[in-house]
Amino acid sequence: MNQTWCRSEADDNGRRLILNLHVQPGARHTEAVGLHGDALKIRLAARPVEGAANAALLEFLSRTFDVPLRQVILKNGAHSRRKVVEIQEPAREAEALLDENAER
């Protein structure tokens, strides 16, 4: 995996993906749209009100990587468009975010 927006790590606790994301809340559809600097840009169909956008992001990633919601952790950026998210034991690779657009 040679993207700047993600990295895979493994240790005694298992494998995880670390994603650097640029999130745009209030979009018409929730989708990954491409690179934004060193982050992957994701448009969210949720408003940034009372954590709704963060919740929608975590649910989207949970579905995309086929993991329970408890395995998707917002590590940094709760009040920012720039976010770092950890996916524990993902069933799919990071490219799954880009494949979501191909299925539309």
Which is nearest to 1 in space by CA: 68, 82, 96? 96
Averaged pLDDT for residues 17-42: 95
Q: What domains does the chain contain, in order, with CATH numbers? A: 6-102 (3.30.1200.10)
Q: How many CB atoms lie within 10 A of CB 51?
A: 13
Dump pLDDT digits (tens) for 48-66.
898 999 999 999 999 999 9
Dump pLDDT digits (tens) for 20-32.
999 999 999 999 9
Torsion region of 21: left, alpha or beta (phi above 0 gives left; psi -120 to 50 gives alpha): beta
CA–CA distance from 65 to each of 14, 48, 68, 90, 99 (Å)? 15, 23, 9, 6, 11
pTM, entire model: 0.91
Whole-number pLDDT of residue 101: 55
Averaged pLDDT for residues 87-96: 93
